[in-house]
Amino acid sequence: MALKRFAFRTEYEGTAYCGFQLQPDQPTIQEAIEKAFLALYQLDIRIVGSGRTDSGVHAAGQIFHADLPDKIPCHKLGMALNSYLPEDIRIIGVSRVDDTFHARFDAVSRRYTYRIFNGITVLKRRFAWQIYQSLDVSAMKQCLPVISGEHDFTSFCLSQTETENKKCDIQTAGWHVIGSELFFTVQANRFLHSMVRSLAGTMVEVGKGRYTVEDFENILKKHNHGSGAVTAPARGLVLEEVIYNPQITWQWSGVS
């Protein structure tokens, strides 16, 4: 059977899942999507994501590709898959792409947002880190030039991170305050395991006055996981967008 390659954009709440990538005997986003493909096509379909998201992390724009029988048009494929997916995972974009397209290797950058709620909230508790003390946001912003550009981020990733190359190029990074909410947005060519959460959590330590900006810079320079970085909870992190060049033109984008 001739197969054609399709790209998909998916949105999910990661609370109930042990990350995107398949894990033995653990619920994952990939497992749920592949089960939906099995139900739709009666075939075992393996998907390839643009990258992993950790346990409990959410996505507004995760990308994956899959090789499928070319018998369901894009404008029907997304809705058909959604009918087999749990309510906390949704396909929001589908496009037929060149058979050489690769969701991971063709991506030129990724953009994440980490959300903090400064105070008490019930409705946002699964999507934000609740912090009950005031933060010195100006001090946290002084950390941003420290991480801008290409650096070795060994100090800000899990010790079991598999890749030997720990260098990442941070293209943009910023802290923004909207009411009681504080957002850390960062875009880079690549990210290491738990890197965004460790950057956010350690900058919060600066905002609390426990670390200085110089302490933060020294942690980065040590290139050592045990150098004092603090990892923020997974629930505040969202993969917002994966960027390609040229960017994918979605033939179906969430409406029938």
CA distance 23 to 101: 25
CA distance 183 to 238: 11
Kindly name the residue from 54, 67, 88, 136 that is annotated as catalytic.
54
Contact between 18 and 55 under an 8 Å Cβ cutoff? The reply is: yes
What are residue 7's DSSP bridge partners? 65, 95
Exposed, middle or buried by CB within 10 Å (0-12, 13-18, 19+), for 46? exposed
Contact between 216 and 146 under an 8 Å Cβ cutoff? The reply is: yes
**Residues 6 or more apart whose Cβ sits within 8 Å of residue 72:** 40, 80
**Residues 6 or more apart whose Cβ sits within 8 Å of residue 221:** 155
CA distance 170 to 175: 14
Residue 99 annotated among the catalytic residues of the structure: no
Residues with a catalytic annotation lie at 54
